[in-house]
Amino acid sequence: MNYNRSSNQVVQGLSLMIPRVFPQWVDEETFIGIFERQKLGRVYKVSIIHMKSESRRSNIPMYKAIVYFSVWYDNISAYNFQQRIFATGNARVIYDDPWYWVAVENKHQRLSNNDKRIMRVAYQNYVSEQNVIRLTNNIRGIKTQLREVNRQLSINTDAMSELGDDNDGLSDTAIQCAMNVLYDE
């Protein structure tokens, strides 16, 4: 796939291929949890493929995994992960420290139109969720500012009330002075 790799944004259409997965890690929920914990993205689908020739050679069942994302998170971890794949051809996904998978760009996407549609909708839902979170945080900030404005208004109202009591006496004195000046008394 051709991606715009020059911008400082994560690439949403990127899927990964993990060429070697041991049998104890062949579980879609495991993959979903690992990518979620590392804050890389939401996994839409994992295709697990048994590698028969690799299994015969090593006498251990081996698999490869194709990982499709409905959303790559827009954060520094996902961005750096993708940039490493684009720059070096691979990146590591630590699944059980110190154990890791080598992930490469999946250049042979085989998704149905229905899968692509579901992924688009999932991405739109994610964007909507992020907007709701952003707006909720903005509303919280505005409420905090409003409480502070109300507090200051209350302080100023009290101060004005105190000044108002003093102003009554000052007003009479000011009127008397003005009359003295006008009438040369």
Residue 161 tokens, joined: 């009330």
Name 69's bridge partners. Answer: 43
- For the chain, what is the largest distance between any 2 Cα atoms, rounded to a whole number of angstroms? 120
Query: Would you give the DSSP letter of residue 89?
Result: S
Same domain membership, residue 137 and residue 90: no
CB neighbours of residue 59 within 10 Å? 7
pTM of the predicted structure, to 2 decimals: 0.69
Q: Return the closest-CA partner of residue 50 out of 14, 26, 75.
A: 26
C-beta of residue 89 within 8 angstroms of C-beta of residue 95: no
Q: What is the CATH number of the domain that holds 64?
A: 3.30.70
Same domain membership, residue 35 and residue 55: yes
Same domain membership, residue 152 and residue 131: yes
How many domains does the chain divide into? 2
Same domain membership, residue 20 and residue 105: yes
Same domain membership, residue 20 and residue 98: yes
Q: Return the closest-CA partner of residue 39 out of 84, 65, 71.
A: 71
Name 21's bridge partners. Answer: 63
Range of the domain at 145: 112-163
Same domain membership, residue 107 and residue 118: no
Same domain membership, residue 55 and residue 24: yes
Give me the tens of pLDDT residue by residue for the chain, a chain 185 residues long. 444 555 679 999 899 999 999 988 888 999 999 999 999 999 999 999 998 877 677 788 889 999 999 999 999 999 999 999 999 999 999 999 999 999 999 998 777 777 878 888 888 888 888 889 889 999 999 999 888 888 888 888 877 777 665 555 666 777 777 778 778 76
How far the first Cα of the chain sits from its last, in Å, is 96
Does residue 5 lie in a domain region?
no
C-beta of residue 107 within 8 angstroms of C-beta of residue 16: no
Same domain membership, residue 106 and residue 129: no
Does residue 120 lie in a domain region?
yes
CB neighbours of residue 136 within 10 Å? 10
